[in-house]
Amino acid sequence: MNLNFCHKVAATFLFWLKSIRFFNWAAPAIFVLAVLHGATGQVVAHDPTDLMTQAAAAREQNDLPEAITLYSQVVERTPNSPDAWWFLGSLQYATGAYVPARDALSHYVELTPKAGPALALRGLCEFETGQFPEALQDIQRGISMGAANQPRNEQILRYHEALLLTRLGNYDQALKAYGYFAKNGIRNPDLMVAIGLAGLHTPLLPRDVASDQKDMLSAAGEAAFAFLSGDETSAAQRFEDFFHRFPQATYAHFLYGYLLFATDPNGALAQFKQELTVSPSNVDAGVMTAWALLVQNRPADALPYAQMAVAKEPGNPAAQLVAGRSLLETGDVNDGIEHLEELLKMDPKNLDAHIALAGAYSKSGRKDDAHRERMLSLQLSNESAETVNP
């Protein structure tokens, strides 16, 4: 029996269990484990007293408690058995014992470092135990190592990745992750709430949303889903309906502007400005308004919005960038340099800041500094290209 193949297949059916939960379908773990057994093959028993044989027999009979007990005994006696750790962790996961499952899978990963499905499954355990940064890292590593090669696996892993990005405040990346579902026409009510959470910059999981907020979040998610799926006409109508129903909702106009920005920068600018009428101290709206005006070559108009953003949140790298760019382009080179240098203290690899500083240093006669920034810009550009095309 090819054990590496078995482990991949086992992970596939465990992810199937999780995806069933996501789509609110009912399926007992015992059924999934029966399928798992059918996929992994029959263990040939030579010694009925052998613990691995007994554990496999219990697993085949869907006696999960007994199988877990026996696999636990195996790893106590043979801690370097990857197969025992895998089955122990996957069975514990299937029964909802997420902490011991996480620990068992960690042992498996130590013995089999390139096991993408095990990393992803450990990430799902960490999601359930509230270890959100670790869960995101493991799920993304698992995806990069092939854990999402099966369509059903990809759905559940992309969903959890987006949930975690939202929970950790990375809303732009979360919306990009949800684009997978929109483009493939995959939808359900919880997904709409989840997209709404990302779109309205709310760092919660759908299960933690108050009942009186679900209608608003779902409506925002529906509008964003329509846009992400390519139906911009329907999205426009849904957003207008949303603004009428929830006129004081923060980040709603920002969300629409963010989605419009690539194809309709003028429309996006109008939405960002509208967001500022609803929420005058919204730093993100100030940043994007300034950025949209810079794109239109209107740095003098951009400067007040950039200054508001950086005054409200000086630790915001994007605010420092638009402030620096606005000042440079209005002729205030020295103050512009100060903002860009402040940005690089927070984000040393910010390519936009290095490019802008190269030009600013050149204008101010600092030739050596300008040369250094050009070299750093080239290096960062090459590193970015290597990451995209490994």
Domains of the chain plus CATH, in order, are 1-168 (1.25.40.10), 171-249 (no CATH), 291-390 (1.25.40.10)
- Mean of pLDDT values over 23-39: 32
Q: Confidence band (pLDDT; 50, 70, 90) for 151?
A: confident
Q: Confidence band (pLDDT; 50, 70, 90) for 386?
A: low
- Mean of pLDDT values over 37-46: 38
What pLDDT is attached to residue 9?
A: 38
CA 141 to chain centre: 12
Q: Does residue 16 register a pLDDT over 90? A: no
Provide the CB-side half-sphere exposure for 331 (13 A, CA): 1
Please state, rounded to an integer, the average pLDDT across all residues of the chain. Answer: 88
- Mean of pLDDT values over 115-132: 96
pTM score: 0.85
The closest of 137, 124, 207 to 165, measured between CA atoms, is 137
